[in-house]
Chains A and B, each alone.
Chain A
Amino acid sequence: MSSHLLTVITFLPLLGVPALLLLRADDHTWIRRIALAISVAEFVISLFLLHGFDGVNAQYQFEEYYDWIARANIHYHLGVDGISLFLVLLTTFLTPLAILCSWQAIRENVKGFFIALLVIETAMIGVFVSLDLLLFFFFWELTLIPMYFLIGIWGHDRRIYAAVKFILYTMFGSILMLVAILWLYNLAGTFDVPDIQAKLQTGLVLLPSHTELLLFGAFFLAFAIKVPLFPLHTWLPDAHTEAPTAGSVILAGVMLKLGTYGMLRFCLPLFPDAAHRMAPYIGVLAIIGIVYGAMVATVQTDLKRLVAYTSVSHLGFVVLGIFAFSTISIQGAIFQMLSHGVSTGALFLGVGMLYDRRHTFEIKEFGGLVNPMPVLMSFFLFIALSSLALPPLNGFIGEFLILIGTFQTHHAWAAWAASGAVLSAIYLLWAYQRVGFGEVTVEKNRTLPDASGRERLILVTMAVAIIFMGVASPIFTRRMEVSTNNLLHQMERAQNVSRPATPEPAGKQSVISPGPRKNASLTKISLRHVQP
């Protein structure tokens, strides 16, 4: 079983689809229960991944390799490393919560809703574990359709506009990536990611710098739209705001990470020169995203839109960390991807609970909610604090690692980015103040019921995850470290090769490179600081 673990994890949710189809359409209880059971089982099985993962091994693990379309040289190649491992876990962790939060909120076409959620889970996990470019693209596009339906059918007032905008934006980016994938295939003769990496690294395949830049651009555009990076972010507020709660959780929690994951997996190791050349521009865009996203979030009158804009800001941090090219900042970026998934997912869950009660997101409709709903609002505050990176909660680790990592290479970037951390305190606390504190201004709010048992379960799970990620961060960073170093090592080597002037060092190179020595030692220092 262990050799097929990834296949099982990837396709188990899909198995739930025929199970749900067999149920009567109006048997809502059992549809929900089965969907939840499958997603919980999925999470439990995915924990085996963590158990069997070898943290000091830089190679892909749990690999599976079969022919799929032999004539076209397309393979079914799965595997995880320290980068994708936790993203898979994040997906399997958030999906049951997304199902749980839709328990009461979704009343129409219940069957279709849960089928969409399960399909999307398969597609997202598929993206994270695919090691064949076309298989990756296959799953990448597959995420779009269920999300399109989630927004378009079960979304709010402007759902159709948001759904169409979402899908056209992402498709435009991904279709050019497809062309780049095919082009890369023509040059390298394979779709296999480790294979291409090895060929580029050893100089078996040389990319002319012009070609490399174009290929990088095509990949990066697709990922930057997904993230979304600053000028390409306009689909996000609409999609997140109009989506049903579960859709927002999945969108913000996992789907945005598909973009940053793609940058780490493809843009950096495959096109290191282009990445280095474009990094100054990308870094600036990321910082603009951080500050701009935070400022726009501050002035929102719609609570859900506010949370949506925080994603633009937080994901800016992630992109900045990636393109600062230091071990720490990249580790921080990966950590921030996870912690943003949990915190923002939790924020959307909280906002969704408010919406279930009042059917509005307008901040001015709320106020003084702490009195009628002490439990819900305390958890809400806790989640907001985690999102604004209060030590020792999860948000802090990621942002801090990114900032110190970036500071090593670009002082000014780190300084600008740090302002985003301050702004996040402003918009979140101010929003919380307006929603939670003060007098109850709207009469209806006086009688709102506090969190139900189901909601408490969701909130407690989230809170535990937030604390756990904050205090036990080495569990995560330790497993990422080798892969991160390996990633940077791949970039270094490729750089040496593509510049024939600097000869390859004659010394033996271990499989796991220590990476740039300065960075490695700094990692240890920084982590010691981070540990509470």
Chain B
Amino acid sequence: MTPFPPEQLANFHRLAPEIILCVFGIVIMVADPFVQAAHKRALGWLAFIGTLAALFGVRILANDAPGTAYSGLIRADAFSVFVHVIVIGAAALAILGSFQYLDDENIQRGEYYALVLFATAGMGILAGANELVTAFIGLEMSSISTYVLAGFRRRALKSNEASLKYFVLGSFATAFFLYGIAMVYGATGTTRIDVISGKLAQMIVEHGQVASLAILGLALMFVGLGFKVVAAPFQVYAPDVYEGAPTPVTALLASGPKAATFALMLRIFYVSFGSAGNFWFWAIWISAVLTMLVGNFAALVQTNVKRMLAYSSIAHAGYILVAFAAGTDIGITAVLFYLAAYALMKIGAFLVIAHLGQQGEKRLEITDYAGLGTKQPVLAVCFSLFLLSLLGLPATGGFLGKLFAFQAALDSKIVWLVVIAAINSVIGAYYYLRVIVAMYFWEPSKDYVPTKVAPSLTFALAIAAAGTLYLGLLPARVLEMAKAAADSLYLR
């Protein structure tokens, strides 16, 4: 048997986005030594072009009929396409937001962009994985790249701490995930996501229940994946890592891996274990409540805006879990829509912080935002938009994301979880509004000298802001796509 049977070779294009991303990443790595320090930014543009090319690759997937590649290890369907657009789009925005930042921090280097591309390729694999070990490879690819990225501000102590913490705890988490795979394999004899489903159904027919080994395996996988999506009680690392990592990297961390990992979770929980009933319901329910409470209450007392937004990421993972708990295709649609809206608003918010932090990330306290509304009105309006969207006010993507999440959960009669989530979103209102209070209601501090917003960052912020409004006002198209994606998850 040849390693690549011809009929599988024909399906290489189903991996097009990842291949494109990796090729661009390698080209950047190779070209890096030949580019003078003053022109390193050109590599960044190359990376940006790489993400655009990868989006073109996603188009190939979208136009092609759904199907598998690599003997069924990778699956290209509307679901995979949807998540690909989110993660690659997030990477593109993060790259745009990095140019000025890296110059300011004096760490403009080629490998930064290469790592972003490799991480994105890993997330892409996660989005399309149809087999658990492949998913593990995707997880490791994205994780290891982001471990390095988190520590990219080498001279900053916090960045080092973030990197080490992320690496040590992240390794544990992925080990849990791997252990879970082994157990599921032991119970079902396969690691194919779509085959597990049938095996479990067969198990129920034969023995009346699912083997506890498989359930234990799922629980361990949840630990590993919960770590990646920052669901409580696996969220402890997130505030430190998000705060310590270079801010554009935080933007990427908060959006891309979360979307990709939620995609994998949907595949595993809904597809593989869907046939075994919602026995995982209470685990998700409890995790959702804990995640929202921990995220919101901890965010309430933060004075550092970056750290506050890190906690807010945790809270948002909780809202997504509310939709996740629904266990229906409405739930999948809601999760996907939320992920899209969330990626836009969160990247936007973190990129604003990246700019305002100025050199050395020294202006991150809420008092540093005083009077921004008069000093830099456009930037302040943008930031307010992202914050209001995170808060969940109408006319923004964040509102409809929450709305659909609540609706999905209510549709499955999960009333109390929705009530808890609703109350949580009001708690959240307090800390988001506090930043707006500082920006608009406080007197501007005298010593603050605004720096010019680079055109690339302006472009990235404009896209994020326009996208947030688009999803809030005219969501019909994206919602249709999310619905098609949700349907494609079950089509075999």
Contacts and interface: CB of A to CB of B under 8 A. Distances in A.
A179 B441 contact: no
Interface string B456-487: 00000000000000000001100110010000
B379 interface: no
B423 interface: yes
A129 to B, nearest CB: 16
A305 B429 CA distance: 27
A71 B429 contact: no
A206 interface: no
A178 B388 contact: no
Contacts of A145: 388, 393
B441 A69 contact: no
A186 interface: yes
A72 B374 contact: no
B406 A167 contact: no
Given A71-B483, A138-B395, A178-B406, A149 B415 contact: no
B407 interface: yes
A69 B475 contact: yes
B393 A163 contact: no
B426 A71 contact: no
B410 A159 contact: no
Given A167-B429, A168-B429, A178-B422, A69 B437 contact: no
Contact of B476 (A69, A163, A168, A186): A69
A216 B312 CA distance: 32
Nearest to A169: B426
Contacts of B429: 167-168, 171
A164 B406 contact: no
B426 A142 contact: no
Given A109-B374, A153-B440, A164-B437, A183 B395 contact: no
A175 B403 CA distance: 10
B426 A171 contact: yes
Q: How many interface residues does chain B have, given as a range? A: 20 to 34
A149 B476 contact: no
Contacts of B426: 168, 171-172, 175
A139 B395 CA distance: 9
A176 B437 contact: no
A185 interface: yes
A70 interface: yes
Interface in A145-168: 145, 148-149, 152-153, 159-160, 163-164, 167-168
A160 B403 CA distance: 29
A142 B36 CA distance: 51
Given A152-B437, A175-B426, A179-B418, A142 B394 contact: yes
A418 interface: no
A134 interface: yes
A175 B425 contact: yes
Q: How many interface residues does chain A have, given as a range? A: 35 or more
Given A71-B480, A172-B426, A175-B426, A153 B410 contact: no
B31 interface: no
Contacts of B410: 179, 182-183, 186
B403 A134 contact: yes
A134 B393 CA distance: 12
Contacts of A175: 422-423, 425-426
A176 B419 contact: yes
B406 A141 contact: no
A71 B433 contact: no
A167 B425 contact: no
B324 interface: no
A137 interface: yes
B486 to A, nearest CB: 11
Nearest to B393: A141
Given A153-B440, A164-B433, A179 B419 contact: yes
A141 B426 CA distance: 12
Most chain-A Cβ atoms within 10 A of its Cβ — which of B395, B400, B403?
Answer: B403
A186 B409 CA distance: 11
B411 interface: yes
Interface in A282-307: none
B338 interface: no
B468 to A, nearest CB: 15
Contact of B394 (A138, A149, A159): A138
B407 A153 contact: no
Contacts of A167: 429, 433
B479 A149 contact: no
Contacts of B423: 172, 175-176
Contacts of A67: 476
B404 interface: yes
A175 B394 CA distance: 12
A289 B446 CA distance: 47
A179 B421 CA distance: 10
Contacts of B404: 72
B281 interface: no
A69 to B, nearest CB: 5
A299 B387 CA distance: 41
Contacts of B374: 109
A108 to B, nearest CB: 9
Contacts of B399: 141
Contacts of A185: 407
Contact of A182 (B407, B475, B479): B407
A139 B393 CA distance: 10
Interface in A37-88: 67-72
Contacts of A182: 403, 406-407, 410, 418
Contacts of B480: 71
B430 interface: yes
A148 B387 CA distance: 14
A140 to B, nearest CB: 8
B422 A69 contact: no
Contacts of B422: 175-176, 178-179
A53 B88 CA distance: 54
B411 A160 contact: no
A176 B406 CA distance: 11
A115 B388 CA distance: 18
Nearest to B418: A179
Contacts of A168: 426, 429-430, 433
Contacts of B411: 186
Given A164-B437, A175-B425, A70 B395 contact: no
A159 B476 contact: no
Contacts of B483: 71
Contacts of A179: 406, 410, 415, 418-419, 422
A461 to B, nearest CB: 32
Most chain-B Cβ atoms within 10 A of its Cβ — which of A69, A159, A167, A172?
Answer: A69
Contacts of A69: 400, 475-476, 479
B136 to A, nearest CB: 35
Contact of A142 (B395, B400, B425): B395
Given A69-B475, A168-B430, A159 B441 contact: yes
Nearest to A173: B426
B479 A72 contact: yes
B432 to A, nearest CB: 11
B332 to A, nearest CB: 13
B395 to A, nearest CB: 6
Interface of B: 373-374, 388, 393-395, 399-400, 403-404, 406-407, 410-411, 415, 418-419, 422-423, 425-426, 429-430, 433-434, 437, 440-441, 475-476, 479-480, 483
Given A176-B423, A178-B406, 16 more contacts: A67-B476, A69-B479, A138-B394, A141-B394, A142-B394, A153-B440, A153-B441, A168-B430, A168-B433, A175-B422, A175-B426, A178-B422, A179-B406, A179-B410, A179-B422, A186-B407
A-B pairs with the 8 shortest C-beta distances? A138-B394, A152-B441, A175-B422, A141-B394, A71-B479, A172-B426, A160-B441, A182-B410
21 contacts: A67-B476, A68-B476, A69-B400, A71-B479, A71-B480, A71-B483, A72-B407, A139-B394, A141-B393, A142-B394, A142-B395, A145-B388, A153-B373, A163-B441, A167-B429, A171-B426, A172-B423, A175-B423, A175-B425, A182-B403, A186-B410
